Amino acid sequence: MTDSCRTEFDARAALRSTECSDAKLCVQFYDGWAENYEEDCNMMCYRGPHLAAHFLSDNFSGSRGEARVLDVGCGSGWVAKLMVELGFKHFVGVDGSQGMLDLAAKTGLYKELKLALLGTEPLPAETGTFDVVILVGALNPESAPVSVVRELCNAAKPGGYVCMARGNQTKKNEFKKDLERELQLMEEEGLWSPAGLKQADRYMEDPHLNSERVKELPKEERYITGTVYLYKKSIHSN
């Protein structure tokens, strides 16, 4: 049951807790956090799902009603709920937390939901199956290593889209460099081509800021930036 007495302090603490280095402990945290996840993220003005869903939709060519979508790191089903409003209907979800999958199941939007720990276990998706593969918020050292990007590409159909959104936290600059090096390498290998890039000044409030100090800061200084990457898989792949 959602805790209706949660505060911004609770939300900041929860988001910092997602940065644990032990994958199993991280999953246990998400299992316990699931019921408060969307409330806490909204409190922190988290815009990743909205930015990704709308940017993908704006650049998508094809039938939204017929497109098969693989929602990787699907969490509570937030991204699918937004994509349904944009005309998408067919979803398969993957997440490492059973607690999150239980919430996603309650949306009634997913044809299948699969439990898998990204980067530790293979992505449970057939090669060349999906019109859209989307990953929002999980592309970071704690949840999904850079190696996962190739798995996302493998799951997309030739000509399909891969959409990834993440926050640009300063202490993860090395990860961002490694990620963008891999994205470029995959482009050079002919696996996909860029279909769009969106930079957001206000991706979410920085959870590392002290709750008292936040009140003293101008609004623009409270946020971390974010990036939405969109690629179209080569028709010659797979």
CA distance 89 to 63: 10
For domain 47-200+225-233, which CATH number applies: 1.10.10.10, 3.40.80.10, 3.40.250.10, 3.40.50.150? 3.40.50.150
What integer pLDDT is reported at residue 49 of this predicted model?
Answer: 97
Across all residues in the chain, what is the average pLDDT? 91
Residue 63's contacts (CB-CB under 8 Å, 6 or more residues apart) are none
Q: N- to C-terminal Cα distance for the chain?
A: 44
Q: Report phi then psi at 112, rounded to 5.
A: -145, 150
d(CA 216, CA 219): 9
Domain boundaries, the chain: 47-200+225-233
Lookup: tokens for 211: 């709750």
Alpha-carbon span 101 to 221, nearest angstrom: 34
Q: Is it the case that residue 172 has pLDDT exceeding 50? A: yes
Q: Which residues pair with 197 in a beta bridge?
A: 229
The pLDDT, as a whole number, for residue 1 is 45
If one compares 45 and 215, the residue with the highest pLDDT of the two is: 45
pLDDT of 86: 98
The pLDDT tens digits for 68-121 are 999 999 999 999 999 999 999 999 999 999 999 999 999 999 999 999 999 899
